[in-house]
Amino acid sequence: MTTPLRSISYGGGVQSTALLVLAAQRRIDFPLFLMANVGDDSESPATLRYVEEYARPFAADRGIELVTLDRVKRDGSIETLWQRLTRPGSRSLPIPVRMSNGAPGTRSCTADFKIKVIAKELKRRGATADSPATIGIGISVDEIHRANNRRTEPHEVITYPLLDLGLRRTDCARVIREAGLPVPPKSSCFFCPFHRPETWHDMRREQPEEFAQACALEDLLNERRDELGKDHVYLTRFGRPLREAIPAGVDVLPMLDEADGLCDSGWCMT
């Protein structure tokens, strides 16, 4: 009888990197870490660098399998989230763009580029309804509201190891530092509409090329909306273009927007 799979959904951020350290220390039993890569043109470049420079060597040295997975279409080609958004003639809005009233629209990015990609790999490795895989999600105590009751698929059982251990995000950072690793940046797509204002301000100041790309994406989406006779959408909740909503040379204190939206599934931004 085969041993049921036990895997962490690895995002390259603070919480899931803490889980990597805890697995290396045998404080949790997860020998496999699966990272669904939304695309080298979509994921934060800082996260991708951290994974390759620190997380992957750390895992390999400690006998932990860390696998990066792409979204592969039926014809065998790789699709990235950026490609889906910018494909000529596309009307797709898979990311939670903000509508004119500031509310996030519906999204399919997490399901299509995270959950389904990992599910495909778990099934390939033998996960079934009779022998489901246990999937650990990196949600910490201070973000317990993100541990939702999402309907799980028959091949999986969702668990939250950081909640079981009572660890907060600050505890995760400490665990990482004590293991001799630098604390990673928060993982996400660089153009994610769930970014808090201070994240956008930091990006405009420290990664101006990424900020300019995000502005260009917003422009492209609204050019298409104009052609369809639809209202504009935005990457912030402020109801105006990103380059206007996030002016240069202005800082925002994190506590002013601490409750603003994060992807509530836990599969992103961990």
Q: Indicate the domain borders of the chain.
A: 6-186
| pLDDT, tens only, 137-173 | 999 999 998 887 555 788 999 999 999 999 999 999 9
| pLDDT, tens only, 206-235 | 999 999 999 999 999 999 999 999 999 999
pLDDT of res. 265: 61
pLDDT of res. 47: 96
pLDDT of res. 31: 98
Backbone angles phi, psi at 48, to 5 degrees: -60, -40
pLDDT of res. 147: 84
* Class of domain 6-186 as given by CATH: alpha beta
pLDDT of res. 256: 44
Enumerate residue ranges in the chain where pLDDT < 70. Answer: 1-2, 149-151, 251-266
pLDDT of res. 150: 59
